[in-house]
Structure 1
Amino acid sequence: MCGIFCSISQNHKKDSIQISREWEACKNLVIARGPDRVIEKFENLTPIWFGHFVAAVLWMQGLDLCEQPTIDSAGNILLWNGDIFSGNLAQDNACDTNVLLSALQSSLNVSSVFQEIQGPYSFIYFQKSTNLLYFGRDIVGRHSLLLKVNTDENTLTLTSVASKEVNKIIEIPAIGIFVTNLDNSRVNLACYPWKEPDLHFTDIIESLETHLGVDIDIKKTILKSDASTSLHLHPDIKDLDYMENSPYLENSYKTLGYLLEDTDILERVDRLLQLLYKAVEVRVRKQPRFCKTCIKLVLSKKDVACDHSKIGILFSGGLDSAILTLIADKYVSQYEPIDLINVAFEKSVNARSKSKKSNENNEKESTDDQYDVPDRKTGKQTFLELSKICPKRKWNFVEVNISQAELQKYRSSRICNLLHPLCTILDESLGCAVWFASRAKGTIHSSANIYESPCRLLLLGMGADELFGGYMRHRTTLRHKGWDALTQELNFEIARISERNLGRDDRIVSDHGRQSRLPYLDENVIEYVQRLKPWERCYPTDKMPSGLGDKLLLRLAAYKLGFRNTANFPKRAFQFGSRIANGKENARDISGRL
């Protein structure tokens, strides 16, 4: 995993190298993503085009650190920020940067190579034989890549992350692979769509053309069209009989046990768990066996035996993170702890003043009370349940308590730049919550000593709500519009998750020199779940209230794994569970605090 940067321009002189303003503005943010090695290369790409390539490497694959930018014998240049977890190019104990560059060198069709990759990535690739510069994000959009085109100066800038000083930069949409032809004298763009273009694709392209001031030529579609679920979905009575007629509908705990007695339901749960186990296993095992502290010693050629924590989990105590935690236990050495990171924000000044008025007899509100937010409560409950299921594992329940002063300090000095170009109140609240959680600095439960997790890898539960129908709007859609509309909405949730969440969260987490990995957004998990009928993955009807019908298939999986209380915890938005957000604000409004 890396921070990558590329600037293409014509304003260079033979005897001097001009560094772009964009690099100066992005430099510190890019380097923070890859603290293990930073390398810059300046290349004359064509007689008129000049390239500045930078990679800040976080070593996460292969037996040795692989330096970037990588240039092969033919003069092709690759900047790769990704992981090949499965697919035809996946190899154990190999640096996937070298594997990918070799595959690209031996293929005339660049897009066909990326068609073979399963895993999150963003990339920049210059093909010397054609003078084409390719760039883009994986089809799910799990890693960030930003683009700025300056038609006045005839320059193009690509970067993993950019500060607010870089104006008119945008997130590259995860709709295909983009390319610019450096045989032309002006910046130009074309796009190879991942899928057959639809109205959503057209809207995105038109918006890009308006913002960038460049026409985009649409090329051949990369992937074969996949027959989507036919609409006019009306479940037969027999499809729903077992769910509608449970004798325990007043008891969510007993309902889950009753449903698992059905052969078809049990088969779906087992298949889902099989895929999740594979997704977690590859994400846990594909990494160097060293923590943040020990890997520095390894890179300085010292022998190290590391038994520190290498895996952290953003742990609200909710359903999604609990399942990942229990599965991860199977693939992490029994001699290593796993860090469960739980974040809480101090009550606002107004909330504290109201609390003081109602508790005038209390001289001082305790720290526990100040940070006793909903996610801290569920976190502790699930932690206790987890400890009973896996009593031999050392779990570090890390309590991250963030004061209002600390929030204001880092929001205005650091987080605002990582969020850029996003700037809504929702982006701000979620971005701040994820940044402090992924910093992973707090105290271990029942201890007063400060602890900062040495893990380099974080498992996150992103994607579970979109796949399994976890939002309240899914219940509303089904009630008013039926199963067809819910099917369309669930499909659209995954299609737009890259622009709503993933690029932002990648920039936020990676700022701490850690990598986020998202098992629910594994391609095989997504494919399986999207082929299910909507009522086979969620059942948000009046008969199954919140905490049961939403994400029903996932709740059944949790129950089968051994969770009893956690399996029925209702969905709670992270920004409210951690108490960073103000429910009275409109989440879509532009934030005035960034």
Structure 2
Amino acid sequence: MCGIALIVSGIRIDLSSSILLQSPNPEPLVAVSVDDLKAALRRRGPDSLGSKKVILQYNKNLSSVEDRGLVSVVIEDGEVENGESFLLNFSNRKAGNYTQVGNSVGDLLFIGAALQLRGLNSIIQPFVDSSGNVLIYNGEIFGGIHVDSDMNDGEVLLQTLGKCCSCGSNGHAGACSVAGQGCSSVPDVLSTIKGPWAIIYWQESSRTLWFGRDAFGRRSLLVHWPTVKDSRFLLSSVSPFSSVDRSSDFEVENGTNHNFWEELSCGMYSLSMDASKLDGYLAGEVKKHEWGNAMLMELIKWERVSFDPKLEELHGSSNGILVGQHLMYPASSDIMTFESGYNSTMIWPYQTMVSLPAHNVLGALRKSVMLRTSQHKMVEAARCYSRQEEHVPVAVLFSGGLDSMILAALLDECLDPSYGIDLLNVSFDGQSAPDRISAKAGVKELGRIAPLRRWKLVEIDSDLSKLTLEMKHVMSLINPANTYMDLNIGIALWLAASGDGWISEGTSNNSDENQQRLRYKSKARIVLVGSGADEQCAGYGRHRTKYRCGGWHGLNEEMKLDMQRIWKRNMGRDDRCIADNGKEARFPFLDEDVIRVLLDIPLWEVAKLDQPSGTGDKKILREVAQMLGLHEAAVLPKRAIQVWVTLSCFYIKSALHA
């Protein structure tokens, strides 16, 4: 994972024909400096920080269509100041040496901070290849592009993008010049990636800047469009503390937003550079590109195979008989063994009916967790673990609820048994908080199904009324979100990801009286998060309301709305709050194959909201939990992070206005 940022200066960007801005925001009263950006990005990527600058010049002596009057060079940041006269020597270009001064100079400053989780060799972003292409990448490739186990996926992506034609850029709108020669365009390559990503890429051959984020927005990317007061074009993984406008009220009720930043909509964009035909200044126009992957387009549309059941289908499903192609059968009819990773998992008999769709979901989730916990190589030399220190590479944001219990059980299957697993639990009410009580019960159940695993419940205790400075910091992380609900959730995620709390000495089988609490800070760099489970499996209270008022159609439409806006309401905010601790959030429920499997299942197999809470909501995940042996977790009623949010608003507001 990385923190990435770009500052484009000296280029007039035409947004008049763009659909990117819904409405112009008022001019912000803040500014963002390069140092502020670097400091914020370094928290996300503590292993290395680098920067490169692409200098662009207009040269009137160049008249070919290919060059369009532009020459460029990649330099180390700080070698040349903006507006200064300089000499460019392009040894790899036929044009030779050029001298150009003053107001026709533009530059693109790329900044990358790395938290390296893959590859044997240390890397520093930005990546630059021999052709002058520049890449800063924040993401993980779990499929679509082959990455060897000893390679860094950012380096592999740069190699793949370097082979792309320039036909998809603004300046090359004609037919592909290398059609039939096995070349792909940049949008084609990005459309194949399975996994979360945000990207900023300079394609030298077309003088085009490419940027964007994956279809579900699992990695943050903020944008500042040029304004009268700040004509720069900026992209960043996170907003620095200085860019939060504290001159206005935090929670905006009338919709007027004075933020410097906004969430970049999911998708792929290009900014093709050219020289203005009228005055020779550098200019560019932003263009949004269509996804080139048919399966991905289907996931974005989020069309379910079936959501309006016939009476006999509902009756058949509830009684465990053959329903179309969905076979229901007693789980006690057999004992199944699944070989996965390091463990052989026994699925023991129990007294409920389990559907074939639930088996499919379990298989997809198991693969998703495996990909997110095994395809990486830690750079051990750089991390310098002592021999006495237990290595814990992966943690789980853990409430003891259904979603986090499933992730913890699957992680146990996929992770080498010599590793411990940290379960990160936040409480604002000590040991009496509902999530702390359910987390302790959850650890005991996990200890029963995996007694040899070293489970560590990391109890992170905090008092909201004493978090004034922390709240102000988290305000910058959730920016441009600006509601108390966002801040409450952001604080919980930020504290949980810190891993700074207490553990109880001894095993989970010991009684509480015999255990001693010790200070502990989790060093796991990968954190599994259950985001996406409620949206896809009808876990929210509003889903039950929609079903009651609008039936199956109303429920389906509400779930579709949740998934199509999750990038704006949840993912960017959550990524920024977790990554600020130098941790990478991974979301197994939002794996492309998991989404596909869930959409292929009739809605009434996913949830049956005419049944009580703890039974019908997230019905299919409850069946998955039963197959994993999590019988107590399978019947837990919904208890998400929002439970304590309303109660904490008073403390949040008091602290902010203190």
**Shorter-normalised TM range:** 0.7 to 0.9
Q: Secondary structure at the match of 2:414?
A: coil
Partner of 1:297: 384
Q: Deviations over 1:5-55 (max 9, x none)?
A: 1101029xxxxxxxx943233222111001111112222144432111111
Say whether 1:424 aligns with 2:489: no
In 1: Cα distance, 2:538 partner to 2:560 partner: 10
The within-5 A match list for 1:87-166 is: 87-108=144-165, 109-152=185-228, 153-166=230-243
Q: Which has the larger radius of gyration?
A: 2
2:261 is the alignment partner of 1:170: yes
RMSD in angstroms over aligned alpha carbons? 3.1
2:549 aligned counterpart, secondary structure: helix
Determine the C-alpha separation between the residues in 2 that align with 1:261 and 1:267. Answer: 16
Alignment partner, residue 309 of structure 1: 392
1:507 deviates by: 0.5
1:304 deviates by: 7.2
* Cα distance in 1, alignment partners of residues 269 and 295 from structure 2: 12
Instruction: Provide Cα deviations, 1:308-335, integer angstroms capped at 9, x if missing partner.
Output: 1111111100000000101111122212
Residue 43 of structure 1 pairs with residue 54 of structure 2: yes
Q: SS of the residue aligned with 2:577?
A: helix
**Mapping for residues 259-270 of structure 1, pairs under 5 Å:** 266-270=355-359
What residue is the counterpart of 1:360 in the other structure?
none
Following superposition of structure 1 onto structure 2, how do residues 336-375 of structure 1 map, counting pairs within 5 Å?
336-346=419-429, 370-375=430-435
Number of corresponding residues:
519
Does the aligned pair in 1 maintain the 2:223–2:264 contact within 8 Å?
no
Deviations 1:248-294 (A, max 9, x none): xxxxxxx9969999999521111111111110011111233468xx7
Q: Which position in structure 1 is the counterpart of 2:6?
A: 6
State whether residues 208 and 272 of structure 2, in contact with CA within 8 Å, keep that contact through their aligned partners in structure 1: yes
Q: Deviations over 1:213-243 (max 9, x none)?
A: xxxxxxxx99656786479953122311145
Q: Take 2:396 and 2:474, find their aligned partners in 1: how far apart are those partners?
A: 21
Q: Gapped runs of 5+ residues in structure 1?
A: 12-19, 197-220, 247-254, 347-369
Look up the SS of the partner of 1:66 in the other structure. Answer: coil
Where in structure 2 are there 5+ consecutive unaligned residues?
Answer: 12-30, 59-104, 166-184, 246-258, 276-281, 321-328, 334-348, 505-514
Q: Share of identical aligned residues, percent?
A: 33
Letter in 2 for 1:64: N
Normalising by structure 1, we get a TM-score of 0.81
Q: 1:432 to 1:483 in 2, by over 3 A?
A: same
The 8 Å contact of residues 46 and 183 in structure 1, kept in 2 or not, is answered as no
Q: After the TM superposition, which residues 161-310 of structure 1 pair with which residues of structure 2 at under 5 Å, given as runs? A: 161-166=238-243, 168-184=259-275, 185-186=282-283, 188-194=285-291, 229=303, 233-244=307-318, 266-289=355-378, 295-297=382-384, 307-310=390-393
| Offset of residue 591 of structure 1 | 11
- Aligned partner of 1:380 among 440, 449, 469: 440
Task: Please state whether the residue corresponding to 2:239 is helix, strand or coil.
Answer: coil
Query: What CA deviation, in whole Å up to 9, does each residue of 1:320-353 have, x standing for no partner?
Result: 000010111112221221101111014xxxxxxx
Task: Report the Cα distance in structure 1 between the residues aligned to 2:265 and 2:351, rounded to whole angstroms.
Answer: 39
Report the counterpart of residue 28 of structure 1 in structure 2: 39
Amino acid at match of 2:311: I
Mapped to 1, the partners of 2:657 and 2:108 lie a distance apart of 36
Q: Quick one: structure 1 residues 509 and 305, their matched pair in 2 at CA, closer, same or farther if it must change by over 3 Å?
A: same
What CA distance in whole angstroms lies between the structure 2 residues aligned with 1:304 and 1:106?
A: 44
Question: Residue 155 of structure 1 contacts residue 187 of structure 1 at CA under 8 Å; is this kept in 2?
Answer: no
Is the 2:135–2:201 Cα contact (8 Å) retained in structure 1?
Answer: yes
Per the normalisation by structure 2, the TM-score is 0.73
Q: Are the aligned partners of 1:547 and 1:570 in contact in 2 as well (CA < 8 Å)?
A: yes
Distance 1:232 1:312, change over 3 A: closer
Shift of the 262–328 alpha-carbon distance from structure 1 to 2, 3 Å rule, reads same
Are the aligned partners of 2:138 and 2:197 in contact in 1 as well (CA < 8 Å)? yes
Once residues 264 and 522 of structure 1 are traced to their aligned partners in structure 2, the CA distance between those partners, rounded to angstroms, is: 26
Contact 2:331 2:352 in 1 (8 A): no
Partner of 1:199: none
